Amino acid sequence: MRVTFTDIKPEIGSLVHVDKAHLLDDEVIEQVRQALETRGVLVFPQIDVSDEEQLAFTDRLGTRTNFTKKAPGSDVSAADVYKITLDKKINTEPDYVLGTFFWHIDGLLMDIPLPKATVLSARRLSDEGGSTEFANLYAAYEHLSDQEKRELEGLRVIHTIEAAVRPVFGSTPPGRAERYREMAPPMEHPLVWTHADGRKSLLLGTHADGVVGQASPHGRSLLWRLNQWAAQPAFTYKHDWQVGDLVIWDNEGLMHRVVPYTDEGRVMHRTSIGGTMKPGHPATEAAMAKMLEPVY
């Protein structure tokens, strides 16, 4: 066997053992693709890839995408490799990185096909914090009761960058609103997303700001309750990194966040695999009207 997979938890995660020399073999790539669908997160312990090797792996699994190319402050020294770090010498404006402390789905705020998978490798670690958590949103849907599933069917959710930065800044800093809007318009997505293969998952995250047709406390409380449900231990995996680890996750069916850290030494290198599915579209003012109405 060129590659072996070991389950980490029943609902999420596999460890993958493969000799780096065989990482790009057809057979390995095919099995990694399949495991990504069924296991959500794949961990390649201390495989120690270079940027070139990470990009080659990314390209073999799909079509690379770089949705943060326009993110301010991002370093463009290695094209298509985004550096996740609080080091201001590498990333001069790490708003986006501080946003990773909160549950999110990569690229869901952009009007692009949802990135299919994210590849992250650990280059330097923080002294404290910095583990990454993943929640399986297929499992979160599947384990709802039939009645809950019926209640959620057909609901539409507004995702905004304002909601994503609210816990980071309190409110959007003056002068940044326009830039944010340009990068990420308010998006309307289904709450329950039916994928091309018929499987269903929830689309959640801190960016989920309200439910179409519901007043803000009603919509938001539903979203917060679901977020809490989805983040329960049975559906989640927390990865404690070692330098050289590479982790890939199914960004269409999982949300993720990092345990907060302050250490400017932590550096992760990220590449992304483009998707073909667009679960939603930019939100119209009419769709947002009820959630923006004053409540009293």
Q: In whole angstroms, how close is the CB of 268 to ligand OGA at the nearest point?
A: 5
- Residue 114's closest CA among 79, 78, 159? 159
Residue 58 in the binding site for ligand OGA (CB under 6 A)? no
Q: Which is nearer to Mn ion, 8 or 98 (CB)?
A: 98
Size of the site for Mn ion (CB under 5 A): 1
Dist. CA 143–CA 152, nearest whole Å: 13
What CA–CA distance (Å, rounded) separates 120 from 35?
A: 17
* Partners of 5 in beta bridges: 16
- Find the binding residues for Mn ion in span 97-126 (CB under 5 A): 106
Determine contact, residues 156/217, Cβ cutoff 8 Å: no
Which of ligand OGA, Mn ion, none does 258 bind, CB closer than 5 to 8 A by kind? ligand OGA
| Residue 110 phi, psi (nearest 5) | -105, 150
The CB-of-197 to Mn ion minimum distance in angstroms stands at 24
Tell me the one-letter amino acid at 239.
H
125 contributes a contact to ligand OGA by CB under 6 A: no
Q: Length of the chain in residues, anyone?
A: 296
Residue 121 touches which member of ligand OGA, Mn ion, none, C-beta under 5-8 Å by kind: none
- Decide whether 214 or 271 has the Cβ nearer to ligand OGA: 271
What is the rounded CA–CA span in Å between residue 62 and residue 112? 16
Among 61, 105, 258, 273, interactor with ligand OGA by CB under 6 A:
258
Position 120 contacts ligand OGA (CB under 6 A): yes
DSSP state of 180: H
Selected from 23, 61, 144, 268, the binder of ligand OGA by CB under 6 A is 268
What does 192-228 look like in DSSP terms, one character per residue?
EEE-TTS-EEE--STTEEEETTS-HHHHHHHHHHHHH
- Using CB under 6 A as the binding rule, whether residue 41 contacts ligand OGA is answered as no
Nearer to ligand OGA, 12 or 84 (CB): 84
Q: Which is nearer to ligand OGA, 14 or 91 (CB)?
A: 91
Identify residues 169-228 at the interface with ligand OGA (CB under 6 A): none
In the sheet with 236-239, reading across from the earlier edge strand, the strands are: 236-239, 132-136, 254-258
Enter the DSSP assignment of 52.
H
Report d(CA 234, CA 10) in Å as an integer.
8
Residue 99's nearest CA partner among 24, 206, 188, 186 is 206
Closest residue to Mn ion in the complex (CB): 106
CB of 106 or CB of 245, closer to Mn ion: 106
Q: Which of ligand OGA, Mn ion, none has residue 120 at its interface (CB below 5 to 8 Å by kind)?
A: ligand OGA
Q: How many residues bind ligand OGA (CB under 6 A)?
A: 10
- Amino acid identity for residue 58 in this structure: T
Task: Give the per-residue contact string, 75-104, with ligand OGA (x = CB under 6 A; - = no).
Answer: ---------x---------------x----
Q: How far is the CB of 120 from ligand OGA (least distance, A)?
A: 5
Cβ atoms of 132 and 241 closer than 8 Å: yes
Binding site for ligand OGA (CB under 6 A): 84, 100, 106, 118, 120, 132, 256, 258, 268, 270
